[in-house]
Amino acid sequence: MTPGLSGFGVLGATPAATGPQTLSFLTSQPLHSLPVFHPAPLLTQAVVPVNAWSQPPVGNEVAAGSVVADSVVANQAEDDELSPAVDGAQSITDLRKSLIAMAMKLRDIRYVRGGRDPSTGFDCSGFVRYVFAHAVGMQLPNNSASQFLAGLKVKRGDMKPGDLVFFRTHGKRRISHVGIYISNGRFIHSPNTGKSVEISSLDSGYWAKRFAGAKRPEAMAQVVDKG
């Protein structure tokens, strides 16, 4: 569990600024050279309550591979405005950039079942929750199944950076894994024991067979998104 986040909903702190320099860094550097994130001060103000903490399921083994995230956020309108649930001074494009920038900084943090913090490690839902809380001040439900139920359904062809992608890795009936969509069919996630936060492709055999759909968190879904 991430210290200081228990019982909070959408957090009111302004996300860290992410501009051209950040995107230039992300798109010009090899993935293996990106820095490992060091925890920032916790956000504070709560707006929407969330469910009680619970342990999320563990993902299955995945095929290792290196992919290049060369297009983090592309061709999105700069004048899109956020709903009151998020910082109204920040465009939806900036929100998506902040999410991806934070997620990329957490690459190579090891998988730990029930992990909620980079100092101890992440499981899949813990990683996603940490990114949303610390990048844009938005608190998500506790596990992948709850996150799937809470979001707005997004067609695969309409997915955008920051949307959540879900998988059924323990049979066809339940959601058991979640990641954050980047672009071009790629997503970043904390896969399973023995691995670390990494980028994978939705088109790879393992993930393609287990893909359950994409969702947009409710607070983001309220945004008038023209991008």
Question: Catalytic: 189?
Answer: yes
Pick the CATH number of 20-37+46-51+60-70+78-221 from 3.90.1720.10, 3.40.50.720, 3.30.590.10, 3.90.1300.10: 3.90.1720.10
pLDDT of residue 92: 84
Answer for the pair 176, 213: CB distance below 8 angstroms, yes or no: no
Residues of the chain with pLDDT below 50 are 1-89, 224-227
Which amino acid, 5?
L
Phi, psi for 116 (deg, rounded to 5): -130, 5
Select from 53, 16, 71, 93 the least CA-distant residue to 186.
71
Residue 97 burial class via C-beta count within 10 angstroms: exposed 0-12, middle 13-18, buried 19 and up = buried
Question: Catalytic: 134?
Answer: no
Question: Catalytic: 170?
Answer: no
User: How does pLDDT run across 170-182, given as a tens digit for each residue?
Assistant: 888 899 999 999 9
* Stretch (H or E) spanning 94: helix 92-105
Phi, psi for 68 (deg, rounded to 5): -110, 115
Catalytic position from the list 32, 38, 124, 134? 124
User: How does pLDDT run across 39-78, given as a tens digit for each residue?
Assistant: 443 333 333 333 333 334 444 433 333 333 344 444 343 3
